[in-house]
Amino acid sequence: MYNIRQFKPVLYLLLMVGLSGFSLAAQSPGLWVLGATGILLNAWLVSTGRFVPMPRALANIVTLLATLYSAQQMLTQSGPPVIVIGQFLVLLHLVKLWEQRANRDYAQLLVLSLLLMVAAAINTASLVFGLLFITYLFLSLYCCLLFHLKVETDTARAALALPEEIISPQRLRQDQRYLSRSMRRLTGFVSVVAVFTAVVVFLFFPRGSGQNLLGPLQLRPSQALTGFSDEVGFQKIAQIQQNDQIMAYVKVWKNDEPVEGGTLLLRGTTLDRYTGADDSKRGRWQWVRSRYRQSSSYSVAPTEEYTLVRDLPEGGDRWRQVIHLNPTGTATLFALPGVITFSPTKRSVEVRFSATDSVLQTVSALQQPLDYEVVSQGSLDGFGFNRYVDTSGPKSSIDPRIAEYARRPDVSGEDADGPLAARRPAGQAVPHPLDAEIAASIERHLRTQFSYTLDLTDARKIIAGQDPLAAFLYDLKRGHCEYFAGAMALMCQSLGMQARVVTGFKCDEFNDTPGANYYIVRQAHAHAWVEVRTPDGWRTYDPTSGNEVGRTQVNMWQRVKHLFDYMEFTYANSVIAFDNTNQENLVNSVETRMTNTMYRGVGWMQTLQAWLESEQFDYITSHIVFFMIGLILIALVVFVGWFLLEKWTLRRRAARIGLEALPPAEQLRLARQLAFYDEMLRLLARFGVTRPRHLTALEFSRSLTFLPAAGYETVRRLTHVYNRVRFGHSDLDAGQRRRLMTVIGRLERELDANLPARGAGPSRGTGLHTPAPA
C-alpha cells in the first residue's frame, strides 16, 4: 500500500507554474505576488502540521465577494474579459487551497489550474510562456497520475480500516522503492504518445487563416502615448513615457539586395490640415487628414500582388519590404515612401489606397497580426507623384504669429538677393524653385535652436490657452517630434507651400542575428516628420532637434535581446501562426526536397552504372576477389583456432572443477555454466586457500569460517548455486552468469581489504589457511 508523499509537493509546484504563466500573460506582477504568497504560506503550514482549514461559510463569503468584484471589473474595465476571468480563477485557487479537506478539493484545484493556463494561452504568444506551458503540461500529467494513485490508496485504507501506524514501515519502503521509477516510466510513455499525437494534429490540422473563435476574448492592442496615432493633438500636455512594445518586424531589399542596417522611415498616414482654435467638430489645435476623393478600396487575396500605381515614373530604386505588423487598433499600414504594389501573405485583406498622399490602409482596424509585402519605388527622402495633389479641401487655420515667425530671414533663410520668403509669391499653388531651399532652412533652424524633450508637465501654464504651436515657437522652445513637425508644416503652409505632417515610425534597430536580418519596430520608434512638395517631387524633412528618436545602441546585452527576439519571432510565425498557408508551404518544401533527392539519386545511379561498365571497375573487382578469398581463409583459420582453444580451455576448467568422469558433451556444458565457480576457486587460491579433492563443494565452503563474514556468506551462496547447476540440472542464462561474475568481483574486493594474498600455488594438508589476526 503506497504512501503518496510526492503528491502535495508536486501539486504546489504545479499551482506555482500555472500562476506564473497567467501572470506573465496578463503582465500582472502584483497578482503573482498575491497568489504566490497564499500558495507558499499554505505549503509551509501544511508541511509543519499547523494548517487549519478555512470554515465553509467564510469560504463561501470570500467566493461571493470575488464574484461581485469580477462582475464589476467586467462592466467597467476596458481590457479583455479573459483577464478578469483569470483573476477570478486565481482567487478561487486561494479559496480552495485554504479550505482543502478531501480529495475533491485537490481535484478542483487541478481543474482550476488548467483553466488558468488556458486563459493565459489565449492572451499571449510569448516564447517564455510557451516553454512554461510545455513544462506545465508534463508536470500536470505527473500530478494527475499521482492524484489517481492517492485516491486509490485512500480508498484501500478505508476499506481495510487500518490506522496509519499499523501499516508495516518495511512494506511501505518496499512499495515506495519502485513507485518513483514506475511513475516516471508511465509519465514518460504517456508524454511521448501525447507529444507525437500533438505534432501530428499540429501539422495536419492547422488553425484556420481567419479570425478564430477566441478572437473576441483575446487581448486588444493598446495605444501608448508614444505610439502611432491617426491624429496629432496638443491640448493634453503631459509627460510621455517610452514604450518598448514591438509593433512590427520588417525585412528590406534594395534592388533585390538585402538591406542590413541604416535608418528607416516607415510612413503611416499624412496630416495636412491644422484645425486651429475654431474647429469644434474635429477638435481644437489638431492635425487631421483631409477627406481625399481619390481613395479606392481593393480586396486582395493571399500571395496576390496588387498594383496600386500603374503609371510608374522612370528611374528610382525598388525597395521590397516584408512586414509582420502586430495589432495596432488602427487601419493604417506602414511602408517606405512610394508604395506601388501590395500583397498579403497569409489571408485576404480589404485595403484602401489614396493616390493623393500614397497612404495605404485597411478598411477596418487591425485586431489581428497581419503579414504583407509591399514594393516602393524612389529614394528614401522623396518620391515623384507630383500629379496627385488635392488643393480643393479646407485649409489649415494658421495663427498670424506663426506666419510672422516663418518670414523671419533667420528662419526661412536669405541669400545675397534678400530673404527667401519675401521673394516667393504667397498665392502661388504650384511648387516654386525656392521651396526646397526654404524648407531646408526652416528644418535647420528648428534642429539647431530648439531642444527635444518628452517631459512637458510644466508647459500648461506657459501655453495658457494660446495656440500650442505658437507657444512652442515663441515661449517653450522645446517639445517632442509632433511639435517640431507641426510647427515646420504650418510655417511652410503660411508661405504658400504645400506641406504635410507624416506620422509613422523611425527605426534603426536592426537584428543581425544569423537567420534574422530584420528591423525591429517598437512603439518608442513612433515619429512625426514633414513632407514638402518641391519642383522635384515630395521631399522628406525631419526637423526634430538632435535626431534622438530611433537611436539604438548595440552592445552585448542588445545582441542577447535580439537573439531572444528572433526566437520569439520564429516561434510566433512557425508555431502560433501555423495555418493552412504554412501547411501548404511545408508540404511544398518537403515535396521539393524529396524531388531533388530523387533527381540526385537518379544521377548517382547513372554515374554508378557508367562506372560499373568501365575498365577501372574490372581492375578493382579482380583485386577485391583475391583479397576477399584471402580474408576468408584467414577467418577460417582464426575460427578453427578459436574453436580448438575454447574447447581446450573448457576441458581444463572441467578438470579443475572435478568433472572428468562425465561424458565429454556434459563436461563442456557444465564448464560453460560453472565458469563462475572456477573463477571463485582461482580467486581463493590467490589467498592460499584451495579445495582438497576429498571435500565436496559444500563441505569446502563450510570450512572457510576464517574468512570475513561478508566473504564467507558470498562463498556459501555461490556454492549453493554451483550445486543447483551441477546436480539439480538448472541452467543459467547469459544475464545470470554476468551477475554472478559481478558478485565474484565484489568478493575479490572484500578479500583484498581483509586478507593478504599468498599466491596461487596449491597448499598441502586440508588446504585450510588460518590468517594472522587482524
Residue of 264, 272, 371, 378 lying closest to 317 (CA atoms): 378
CB 232 within 8 A of CB 486: yes
**pLDDT averaged over 10-residue windows placed end to end, the chain, 774 residues:** 72 92 87 91 90 88 88 75 86 88 86 89 81 89 86 76 56 57 75 78 60 45 55 67 83 90 89 81 81 70 83 78 88 90 88 86 86 85 52 77 93 90 82 92 93 82 83 90 93 91 91 87 90 88 70 67 77 67 64 74 79 76 83 90 87 81 83 86 88 86 88 90 85 86 89 68 38 34
The predicted pLDDT at position 209 comes to 46
**CA-based R_g, the chain, Å:** 42
- Which run of H or of E encompasses 488? helix 481-494
Measure the CA–CA gap between 626 and 623, rounded to whole angstroms: 5
Residue 204 has a pLDDT of 67
Where are the chain's structural domains? 7-204, 233-569, 674-754
Q: What is the pTM of this model?
A: 0.63
State the residue for C-alpha cell 482550476: 112
CB-based contacts of 375, cutoff 8 Å, min separation 6: 318, 319, 320, 321, 339, 340, 341
Q: Give Cβ neighbours of residue 361 (< 8 Å, ≥ 6 apart).
A: 269, 331, 332, 333, 351, 352, 353, 354
What angle do helix axes 7-26 and 127-160 make, rounded to 10 degrees? Answer: 150
Whole-number Cα distances in Å, 9 to 4, 34, 40: 10, 20, 11
DSSP-derived letter for residue 221 is P
Q: For residue 56, give every residue at least 6 positions away whose Cβ sits within 8 Å of its Cβ, in sequence order, or none.
A: 99
In the chain, the N- to C-terminal Cα span, in Å, equals 46
> What distance lies between CA 355 and its chain's CA centroid?
40
Which of 184-208 are b and which e, b meaning 16 or more Cβ less than 10 Å from the residue's Cβ? Answer: eeebeeeeeeeeeeeeeeeeeebee
